[in-house]
């Protein structure tokens, strides 16, 4: 499908709209759910002044909120003098406005998350938590902000809230490493086996993730599993030799009396 699409776009760029439409129609047959290919094909038909063919393609996606498809549908309807063209193009404007509002909200949420990370680095955990909450006010249920908030709650000692939030994140995103680490930490205190299992899952999913490796190493060390902790610290040091956390854990792992 990708090769056919690339061929179709190349042919369109050279001005051979008929050959372009043929290649794109083959691509769409191979991947009927590829809305970007449908938009490409409809656009080529409109450029070739074949609005009926464009409409035939676009009607298969009737009800879609895809901005390109709705806009092209309105253009095809208008080219054919259809009375519904104005309503379709108004719907496109409404969808465009919503998409812009979402982009702006996403940007504000990202700014708040970055601010929260900076405050965390300054040891202002309460400020960081508030920043993550503000991010969620702009982008509700965003897993990244929720996971950071759960981690902040854990660091502030609100273990029940952190565990509950991390568990809810994992219901929707079982591969969310930060949520696995938060819930693992929260459960180590009451059920070390369950806590270790969660932390081990994070490492299995991200075997080169330094934070995952060192979080598990820290838990192993606290649980008296020194040899396993040493192996994880070694692996983390190979990935990120300059990590301060690696240096700290290596010192903790040194035999008593070692220089």
What is the structure's pLDDT at 256?
58
**Reported pTM:** 0.73
CATH numbers and ranges of domains, the chain: 2-82 (1.25.40.10)
Enumerate residue ranges in the chain where pLDDT < 70.
Answer: 256-259
How far, rounded to the nearest angstrom, does the alpha carbon of residue 219 sit from its chain's CA centroid?
28
Kindly write down the DSSP assignment for every residue of 101-120, as one continuous string: HHHHHHHHHHHHHHHHHHHH
The predicted-structure confidence for 153-165, as pLDDT tens digits, reads as follows 999 999 999 999 9
Pairs from 111-115 (Cβ < 8 Å, separation ≥ 24): 112/138, 112/145, 113/144, 113/145, 113/148
What is the structure's pLDDT at 259?
45
């Amino acid at each position: 499908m990708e090769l056919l699409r690339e061929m179709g776009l190349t042919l369109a760029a050279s001005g051979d709209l008929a050959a372009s439409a043929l290649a794109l129609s083959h691509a769409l047959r191979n991947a009927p759910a590829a809305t970007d290919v449908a938009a490409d094909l409809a656009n080529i038909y409109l450029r070739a002044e074949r609005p009926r063919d464009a409409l035939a393609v676009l009607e298969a996606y009737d009800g879609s909120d895809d901005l390109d498809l709705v806009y092209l549908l309105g253009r095809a309807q208008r080219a054919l003098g259809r009375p519904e063209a104005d309503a379709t193009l108004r719907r496109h404007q409404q969808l465009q406005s919503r998409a812009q509002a979402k982009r702006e909200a996403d940007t504000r949420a990202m700014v708040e998350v970055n601010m929260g990370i900076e405050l965390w680095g300054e040891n202002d955990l309460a400020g960081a938590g508030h920043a993550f909450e503000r991010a969620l006010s702009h982008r509700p249920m965003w897993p990244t902000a929720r996971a950071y908030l759960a981690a902040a709650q854990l660091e502030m000692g609100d273990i029940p809230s952190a565990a509950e939030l991390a568990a809810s994140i994992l219901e929707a995103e079982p591969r969310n490493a930060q949520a696995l680490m938060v819930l693992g930490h929260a459960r180590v205190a009451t059920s070390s086996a369950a806590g270790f299992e969660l932390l081990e899952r994070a490492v299995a999913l991200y075997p080169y993730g330094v934070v995952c490796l060192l979080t598990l190493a820290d838990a192993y060390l606290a649980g008296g599993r020194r040899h396993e902790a040493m192996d994880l610290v070694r692996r983390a040091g190979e990935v990120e030799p300059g990590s301060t956390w690696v240096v700290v854990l290596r010192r903790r792992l040194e035999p008593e009396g070692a220089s």
